[in-house]
A and B are shown apart, each in its own frame.
Chain A
């Protein structure tokens, strides 16, 4: 794995800009193209209600994919995020039912998310255990822990004030979309223009070079995981508050959907390249495809196959594109 990272250095900024633009443009084009095609086949797909459901119901995936993008750009991976979201959603729901002040109900998952992910980041960065081992272990600890503690009981009777996802700003802007867009823009600007944001790319591109330039790859990895935990916390809140009940189990294969969004959004799995605008667009695209399957009478059971194929196509295209550029330059 380590040999792959070193050989791919970024070319000039101009090239990078064009690459990102093309990936994002491609995704936007795909989103609109699919909407038109499926709309022609079945006009009900284009109903405002359905389009709104696609975005509203999946905003939490986009938010989680922002953190996942950062993790992957830094040259790591996290497969525990689905379990963590399940745990955090249950924690916030349990607190809400217990009558804890709403601000604490909303803050606790964020804090716990940050702590759990920071712990993982520290083990990965300072004890040098591969991210896949740490996060696979954490996945089962969280998943097993959640089911053991709750016994899979559903949380019902959630207070009205708990439902963050139902709030509409100025009576028109739904909270999930607002959070998704704001988080994407803030994270994109931060990653692009701040020193610590650039440090993520430097760490993922070439950790040793980053170290020689005065960036601490270890501290960067811990920071990235802490932020990833924050976004997982926000995602958990959106997830928990959009339905009237919380199932207190881990949503199956959620981590795969989040990873798919990050990778398909143009985050190079080899580390060092990618933007979160792409991952948010990709999250919308995946949700759109899942919904479209139903409208063109294809069984929704195919969605994981579609996701896997999407990852493969994106990764292979990414690798071939880099290889061609290296040969050309």
Chain B
């Protein structure tokens, strides 16, 4: 492993550094322009509030970075958020779980949902794309079926701390995201696990023949994705104070757009957590900036869709790995 790591690393860095520097520069310019256009934009209050809104998607983007680096994808994350939100409310209201247990249960359900994805992807070799399209329908369907489209409300006051409270002047969920970012960054950059992700994404067969635990690592990343969705559901329910079965629908777009915009190659093998964070911030600021200049929420998804396609186009034309696409 120690021998392999530096080789794997040297496959990417120069282009990667350029991409991220470019992105950071665009971010600064965008911030300045939005700040000039609207004086409310560059206030601490607004920025912290945007951090609050960014957390649900942000928590999903971290494991999604891992997954896309391995050359996989997880389209079911939004549906897992919906399923976990429903399980939280349902187990508390209908099964009579104490709320802390219900939260843990919901996150556990997310883990199981991700584990099932990973299990069929690694054991039966179902392609990740079709596996997670199937569970996109299945998990959303379970959320709708279990809840019968009824919402759950009237959570106790303390429950809203995670989604609405502050600690040291910073939104609570932003601390959670921050811890997640640091852990994911270290895991990806400084551990055998992280280096294995790159090895799998660069050449899965070679990784297998090198004796790397390919299947086990993939199983872990899909399970992590489910767990993160559970966490995200908890933060989301706490922020909006109610549970509905359509929660998190469409999140996969924001998450994948943030990861791809952050320089992670959709073909696998390339990507960083740092890039994902910048991508995430850009998407959120784009949304906020558009909203402040009077663009409605529905119109912002046009922009995000266009950003997704454009950033993939630019990355693949800058990058040498286009042949793999076919």
Chain A residues close to B by CB (< 8 Å): 1-4, 77, 79, 123, 127-130, 132-134, 136-141, 143-145, 147-148, 207-208, 217, 253, 256, 259-260, 263, 269-270, 299, 301-309, 311-312, 315-316, 319-320
Contacts and interface: CB of A to CB of B under 8 A. Distances in A.
B88 interface: no
A33 to B, nearest CB: 22
A306 B141 contact: yes
Given A4-B125, A141-B302, A309-B138, A316 B120 contact: yes
Given A129-B312, A136-B253, A148-B302, A304 B141 contact: yes
* Most A Cβ at <10 Å: residue of B133, B136, B306, B316: B133
Given A144-B300, A315-B126, A137 B145 contact: no
B266 A133 contact: yes
Interface class of chain B by DSSP: helix
A123 B136 CA distance: 25
Interface string B282-326: 000000000000001011111111101100110011000011111
A87 B182 CA distance: 43
Interface of B: 71, 73, 75, 120, 124-131, 133-142, 144-145, 147-149, 204-205, 245, 250, 252-253, 256, 260, 266-267, 296, 298-306, 308-309, 312-313, 316-317, 322-326
Given A301-B148, A320-B124, A136 B133 contact: no
Contact of A2 (B140, B266, B304, B326): B326
A263 B305 contact: no
* Most A Cβ at <10 Å: residue of B137, B316, B322: B137
A320 B124 CA distance: 8
Given A77-B129, A133-B312, A136-B252, A207 B326 contact: yes
Given A311-B137, A312-B120, A316-B124, A132 B73 contact: yes
Nearest to B134: A311
A147 B316 contact: no
B139 A308 contact: yes
Given A130-B325, A137-B305, A137-B308, A301 B260 contact: no
* Most A Cβ at <10 Å: residue of B134, B266, B322, B324: B134
B130 A144 contact: no
Interface class of chain A by DSSP: helix
B132 to A, nearest CB: 10
Nearest to B138: A308
Nearest to A5: B326
Contacts of B256: 133, 136
A133 B149 contact: no
Given A129-B312, A141-B302, A316 B126 contact: yes
Nearest to A308: B138
Nearest to B128: A1
Given A136-B305, A269-B130, A308 B325 contact: no
Given A2-B324, A133-B266, A148-B299, A319 B125 contact: yes
A144 B130 CA distance: 25
Contacts of B301: 140-141, 143-144
* Most A Cβ at <10 Å: residue of B136, B267, B316: B136
Contacts of A308: 134-141
Closest 4 CB pairs of A and B: A308-B138, A305-B141, A304-B141, A140-B305
A315 B299 CA distance: 36
20 contacts: A2-B326, A128-B322, A129-B309, A129-B313, A130-B325, A132-B73, A133-B266, A138-B309, A148-B302, A217-B326, A253-B137, A256-B137, A270-B127, A301-B148, A304-B138, A304-B141, A305-B138, A305-B145, A308-B138, A319-B124
Given A256-B136, A309-B138, A123 B126 contact: no
Nearest to A124: B325
B168 to A, nearest CB: 36
* Most A Cβ at <10 Å: residue of B140, B304, B308, B326: B326
A253 B141 CA distance: 11
A312 B306 contact: no
B325 A137 contact: no
Nearest to A314: B134
